[in-house]
Amino acid sequence: MHPAFVKSARDAVPIWFASRRDAASVLGKLDAGARAFAKAAGFEGRAGEYLPLPGKNGALTGVLFGQDSRREPQADQFAAGRLADLLPGGTYRFANVEEPRLAALAFALGAYKFGRYRKGKAGAAKLVLPDGVDGEELSAIVEAVALARDLINTPSNDMGPADLEAAARRLAKQHRAKFAAIGGARLAKGFPLVQAVGGGSDRAPRLIDFSWGNPKHPKITLVGKGVCFDTGGLDIKNDAGMLNMKKDMGGAATALALAHMLMSPASDP
């Protein structure tokens, strides 16, 4: 299970979600001291508003977090993801939440850190899984999203065709999938346009393919554009167009992420 989650904790600190519409009602559920503190601090339930609640001995006894009701057209359904960075170290639980599964997913996604070049500290805040939420399923989703983020965030000097192939090969090995990488003369003959696009680089292009699953089941094919940015060749883009070229392999990264979700044991019916 993802390290942002724990199955249970007796002393987990409650997180109270409140919107402008129901802030008064939520505050009414707190003890007198916490309610007085929240009122003195001017908590109104504005979207993104964050207020730790101290107890009599100064210890953290609760957290108030402003989030628009899902009925609001402008509501950010992933607002709970901000809590992963806001909360101090400890274990927390949702005291009231409209969409527990979505909020838990947002929390874990918010704990993401890109640590390839600088190892940051792992998220110190942990969340008790809400009742009825499948932690293994959520973990598979979070791991897949992190895989795509890591691949896209890696600068192009470290994310060439061979590097993307290696990432796909690792994923295929993890799930015992059949893997193939087509390059050289076979690529030029079978996929001449792929060869034409990548042929101007000293990092040879390739087509990456792997298959998985029961051959008797309906077939689903995922295709993702995996053009790894290279400064060689003709530059026909303006300056603004060049800014996002590092992400030109994002389609392949997304396809690999979705493949991980589908192949994960948590996705089995």
Contact in structure between 145 and 42 (CB atoms under 8 Å): no
Whether 254 maps to a domain, the answer reads yes
What is the predicted pLDDT for the residue at 232? 55
Whether 140 maps to a domain, the answer reads no
Whether 203 maps to a domain, the answer reads yes
- For residues 131-143, one letter each, b for 16 or more C-beta atoms within 10 angstroms of the residue's C-beta and e for the rest, the string is eebebebbbbbbb
Q: Return the CATH number at 251.
A: 3.40.630.10
Examine the domain organization and report whether 123 and 23 are in the same domain: yes
pLDDT-based confidence at residue 86 (cuts at 50, 70, 90)? very high
Number of domains, the chain: 2
What is the predicted pLDDT for the residue at 70? 73
Whether 9 maps to a domain, the answer reads yes
Examine the domain organization and report whether 76 and 180 are in the same domain: no
Domain that holds residue 121: 5-133
Parallel, antiparallel or unpaired: strands 178-182 and 207-211: antiparallel
Mean pLDDT score of the chain: 90
What is the predicted pLDDT for the residue at 233? 55
Q: Return the CATH number at 90.
A: 3.40.220.10
Examine the domain organization and report whether 63 and 23 are in the same domain: yes
pLDDT-based confidence at residue 68 (cuts at 50, 70, 90)? confident
What letter would DSSP give residue 145? H
Whether 139 maps to a domain, the answer reads no
Average pLDDT over residues 227-252: 78
pLDDT-based confidence at residue 162 (cuts at 50, 70, 90)? very high
Whole-number Å distance between alpha carbons of 6 and 258: 25
Whole-number Å distance between alpha carbons of 102 and 100: 6
Burial of 265 (C-beta count, 10 Å sphere; 0-12/13-18/19+): exposed
Whether 176 maps to a domain, the answer reads yes
When mean pLDDT is compared across 40-44, 69-73, 148-152, the lowest value belongs to 69-73
Examine the domain organization and report whether 113 and 208 are in the same domain: no
The string of pLDDT tens digits covering residues 99-114 is 999 999 999 999 999 9
Percent of the chain with pLDDT over 70: 95
Whether 171 maps to a domain, the answer reads yes
User: To the nearest 10°, the Cα dihedral for 158, 164, 165, 171?
Assistant: 120
